[in-house]
Amino acid sequence: TGYMVMDYEAGESLYQILRRAPMPEEATLKNILLPVLDGLQAVHQAGFLHRDIKPSNVFIRENGVPLLIDFGSERLTGGSTSKSRTAIVSPGYAPLEQYTSSGNQGPWSDIYALSGVIYRAVTGENPPDAVRRMKADNAMTVLAAARTRYSERFLKAIEWGMMLDEKMRPQNIAEW
């Protein structure tokens, strides 16, 4: 049996925060996201992918500092892509390439998931799963309704990160 151990942190997950206070201000979201992006970029530069980013895995410490947790699905990348043998998915947050064991996974896959987290924060709705989006995609219509509360640039970044085709997404954190 394998176990993952991490230090105890006092605070709560972004999932819990969004249940209590849905659709936070853009500045509040950026204060959470920018440090998470810095950490995720370091993870990618070390050759790993998280593969399970969702609101319950973004933890906000009591001092307000965010922390990306639960690396149980992480995989070492081979060059620029990861060809994992297992398909790990959190519906709504997992990109299409993560639904098969032979999908072309890379930093763009984690970007899709983090974009889904932001989508959840700005719309108050879970993002639709990638497979369902292939048939009927209303995700961007729902996102467009948030234009009264969030800047166009911020929403465009979410939209770009949630492109179904991994080649159309930002390929790394710096590009995003």
Alpha-carbon dihedral sign for residues 45, 35, 74, 135: negative
Strands across the sheet containing 11-13: 11-13, 58-61, 66-68
Structure tokens that stand for 158 in this block: 């979410």
Looking from the CA of 12 toward its CB, the CA atoms found within 13 Å total 8
Which residues are part of the catalytic machinery? 52
